[in-house]
Structure 1
Amino acid sequence: MTLLRVGVFGLLGSGNLGNDGSLEAVLGYLRAEHPEAVVDALCGGPEVVAARYGIPATRLHWNRGEYRTASRAGAIAAKGLGKLVDAVRTAAWVRRHDVVIVPGMGVLEATLPLRPWGFPYSLFLLCASGRLSGTRVALVGVGAAPIGNRPTRALVRWSARLATYRSYRDALSRDAMREMGVDTTRDEVYPDLAFALPVPPPPDPSGPPGPVCVGVMDFHGGNDDRARAEEIHRRYLDGTTRFVRALVKDGRPVRLLTGDACDASVVDAIREAVDSPLVTAAETASLADLMKETAAADTVVATRYHNLICALKTGTPTLAVSYAAKSEALMARMGLGTYCHPAREVDADRLLEQFRELEKRSAQLRKTLAERNQVATRRLEDQFTALTAALFPAADHAHALRETP
């Protein structure tokens, strides 16, 4: 059997649970459908990826201070040199593979603060290297959004154009790439890859009521909000804290969730401000951990995109504190489109009103979510079938021959 050399690429193992969940879904697909594949990673946190997923991993950036602000001449020079070194390192890594997969993530968007010479440059190096070396590069179930910054937009546009295969996690992403000048006529839309992950068993219905899970985020606005970043963060934190305090006043236990290592500061600030034993914080190291928390909850109110996915995937009534159109699109697709609240303008009184309305319809919404999750599962089976046909044509042909009577 011919060995397939498959690479996975991205800000994986860096503390973002959503990114790692997308990787886990793709690794599950590869191990089930292409067990002959030899897989390794070029990623942000190679030690974590190697230990958690059992695959060899290489650091994405030569310069270990890539994402730290450089003010001294030496640090600035190291960053500049790092860009040149990374071009060589990335090209050499790509050439060693038959296929490279970018698993999910918002790699074609800038809804959070982003510098063009950070990850957008890395993604461009990957896709350009793939085109030059003949290695197939696939952007699988990725997120995209309109980008105002010209250098970032140009790098994202060329990355998408140079990729061999593209699919998106929502129609808004495909529309955004079309508006940026990418031919998307053959690109498909599928549910987020995290919907392919297994769910924990439901809690015992005869047990005690679950908590309200509140997923928080170290939110400072998007790429175009840098001038107002601190004001946006203060309003988000104040509104969320007031909402948690109102729940505690009603005697409701609150479980705080995060989705990235940087969110811990928000958890600490809310717990200190509310100062109640009813407020606890979950320790989560994966989307599986998040799903266990949301499955045990009565209701979820969350900001981070993959907190929402975990709650919806486990069938728990969910209210989105939305910081980007992708959250609203996800909620609409799952039948909860009316239960969104703007993260930039958190109004605790209005949020509490929406929360109470959500809880009144809990039984009906759980049924809706069960139906929508069945559809998502079938669509992701279609995604993986399409991916095999696009990236592993020989394996797909052999599979078809085995099924022929």
Structure 2
Amino acid sequence: MIAARVGVFGLLGSGNLGNDGSLEAVLGYLRAEHPEAVVDALCGGPETVTARYGIPATRLHWYRAEYRTASRAGAIAAKGLGKLVDVFRTAAWVRRHDVVIVPGMGVLEATLPLRPWGFPYALFLLCASGRLFGTRVALVGVGAAPIGQRSTRALVRWSARLAAYRSYRDALSRDAIRDMGVDAGHDEVYPDLAFALPMPRSIVFSEQAEPTEHSGPRGPVCVGVMAFHGGNDDRARAEEIHRRYLDGTTRFVRSLAWDGRPVRLLIGDDVDRPVVAAILDAVDSPLVTAAEAASLADLMKETAAAESVVATRYHNLVCALKAGTPTLALSYAAKSDALMDRMGLGAYCHPAREVDADRLLDQFQALERRSVELRRTLAERNLVAARQLQDQFAELTAALFPATGHGRAHTRTHTHTRQEIP
């Protein structure tokens, strides 16, 4: 049998822990179910991907400063030339593969500031090249959301249409793609790919322990922060939104420290580090420290060791929920609300655009009062998520590797309703 040539594509190895966690989940699936596959990447941080995951990797864009604002004539010309060069680079890379997988990530949304000729254009080139050369492009467990900007929406719509396979991390994503005019009638919804990651060995047994009523001093709190400036349609108010978010989050952290609670500040992307520094400087307490998390496994360890979590970035929420720790979301998009609802904590969301420290503290205290009950709920929901992701990978094998003859790829049940949890 000839080994399948499989490519993985996206802003991987670029400092976003959630994106890299999705890649890790897909690589785990490929190594377990298709060990004969020859895998490489077209990604944002090829050196990091090769060093961390042991696969060859190529830079996503010819122009290295693609995601920096170009103001000088030379930079603008170089960026424009890069768009043309990337047409041929992407096509040549896609042509060498039988299958290309886009692992998770919010590749069909613009809930954070996004220019159409950045990643949306790169994704369109990928999907168009796949259709041209007969390479199956799979958007696996991706996020989508309504997009106001016409050019970005058009690129996302055509990317989705040209892909050979699509699945989503929540029903809202499938609905958004359908509303853009894409036939999503056969597309499925599964939990986020990060729920398929193995738990770090150090917390497997504590995760399975029976929750007990709290006694003694309250434990540490993890607070996941974000360089949040609103979404794609909030550019005019970006600094105002960021100041309100930072001020409210800082006041909340200060209240915890005044109450004697140890606080661990978490990030999900390298761009969040200045927010951590600003909070540490403003609160100035030995009880408030920063975690150096380099992966989702590190985030799971941090959140598993906490009594409660308050977090903004989507994959900080995923890690805390997978670790079974009662969690409150500083929600910046509908995907966070959907995730919390799926895991049984839909009542514990607070708007990231309008952080009210006093109200947030009230919600947090209500969360902690139900800690034992919520830990049991999370244990049950995590078991369901694990089973659903087994279905996801079986479906992926059937769609992308039909010649492998894996019998378990045809054991799927409950079509179109895997996102529902009783």
Q: CA deviation at 1:297?
A: 0.4
Asked if the contact 1:341/1:351 (under 8 Å) is kept, the reply is: yes
User: 1:86-125 alignment to 2 at 5 Å?
Assistant: 86-125=86-125
Q: CA deviation at 1:209?
A: 5.8
> Deviation digits for residues 252-307 of structure 1, max 9, x if unmatched?
00000000000000000000000000000000110000000001000000000000
Partner of residue 335, structure 1: 344
Q: Distance in 1 between matches of 2:191 and 2:132?
A: 31
Q: Distance in 1 between matches of 2:141 and 2:306?
A: 28
Asked if the contact 1:190/1:379 (under 8 Å) is kept, the reply is: yes
Change (3 A) 1:33 1:227: same
Change (3 A) 1:209 1:351: closer
Q: Distance in 1 between matches of 2:189 and 2:408?
A: 24
Asked if the contact 1:211/1:298 (under 8 Å) is kept, the reply is: yes
Q: CA deviation at 1:398?
A: 5.1
User: 1:350-365 alignment to 2 at 5 Å?
Assistant: 350-365=359-374
**Partner-residue secondary structure (3-state), 2:306:** coil
Q: Distance in 2 between matches of 1:115 and 1:350?
A: 34
Asked if the contact 2:21/2:295 (under 8 Å) is kept, the reply is: yes
Q: CA deviation at 1:44?
A: 0.1
Q: CA deviation at 1:211?
A: 1.1
**Partner-residue secondary structure (3-state), 1:122:** helix
> Deviation digits for residues 10-55 of structure 1, max 9, x if unmatched?
0000000000000000000000000000000000000000000000
Q: Distance in 2 between matches of 1:125 and 1:266?
A: 34
Change (3 A) 1:162 1:207: farther
Change (3 A) 1:189 1:398: closer
Change (3 A) 1:400 1:71: closer
Change (3 A) 1:163 1:207: farther
**Partner-residue secondary structure (3-state), 2:397:** helix
**Partner-residue secondary structure (3-state), 1:327:** helix
Partner of residue 300, structure 1: 309
In structure 2, what residue type is equivalent to 1:231?
E
Q: CA deviation at 1:207?
A: 11
Worse-matched range after superposition: 230-239 or 203-212: 203-212
In structure 1, what residue type is equivalent to 2:287?
L
In structure 1, what residue type is equivalent to 2:356?
D
Q: How many residues in Structure 1 have an aligned counterpart in Structure 2?
A: 401
Q: Distance in 2 between matches of 1:105 and 1:193?
A: 9
Partner of residue 168, structure 2: 168
Asked if the contact 1:8/1:103 (under 8 Å) is kept, the reply is: yes
User: 1:100-249 alignment to 2 at 5 Å?
Assistant: 100-200=100-200, 201=203, 202-203=205-206, 210-249=219-258
Asked if the contact 1:305/1:327 (under 8 Å) is kept, the reply is: yes
Q: CA deviation at 1:203?
A: 4.6
In structure 1, what residue type is equivalent to 2:320?
A
Asked if the contact 2:224/2:265 (under 8 Å) is kept, the reply is: yes
Of residues 274, 295, 304 in structure 2, which corresponds to 1:265? 274
Q: Distance in 2 between matches of 1:372 and 1:207?
A: 28
**Partner-residue secondary structure (3-state), 1:191:** coil
> Deviation digits for residues 98-142 of structure 1, max 9, x if unmatched?
000000000000000000000000000000000000000000000
In structure 1, what residue type is equivalent to 2:351?
P
In structure 2, what residue type is equivalent to 1:330?
L
Worse-matched range after superposition: 50-59 or 209-218: 209-218
Asked if the contact 2:104/2:141 (under 8 Å) is kept, the reply is: yes
Partner of residue 78, structure 1: 78
Partner of residue 54, structure 2: 54
Partner of residue 286, structure 1: 295
In structure 2, what residue type is equivalent to 1:347?
D
Unaligned stretches of 5+ in structure 1?
A: none
Partner of residue 391, structure 2: 382
> Deviation digits for residues 142-187 of structure 1, max 9, x if unmatched?
0000000000000000000000000000000000000000000000
Change (3 A) 1:332 1:312: same
Q: CA RMSD in A?
A: 1.5
**Partner-residue secondary structure (3-state), 1:12:** coil
Is 1:312 paired with 2:321?
Answer: yes
Partner of residue 252, structure 1: 261
Worse-matched range after superposition: 194-203 or 104-113: 194-203
Change (3 A) 1:247 1:385: same
Asked if the contact 2:394/2:408 (under 8 Å) is kept, the reply is: no
Asked if the contact 1:334/1:369 (under 8 Å) is kept, the reply is: yes
Asked if the contact 1:203/1:296 (under 8 Å) is kept, the reply is: no
Partner of residue 8, structure 2: 8
Q: Distance in 2 between matches of 1:217 and 1:290?
A: 14
In structure 2, what residue type is equivalent to 1:286?
S
In structure 2, what residue type is equivalent to 1:85?
V
Q: CA deviation at 1:198?
A: 1.0
> Identity over the aligned pairs, expressed in percent?
83
In structure 1, what residue type is equivalent to 2:15?
G
Change (3 A) 1:68 1:307: same
Q: Distance in 2 between matches of 1:398 and 1:297?
A: 41
Q: Distance in 2 between matches of 1:87 and 1:207?
A: 62
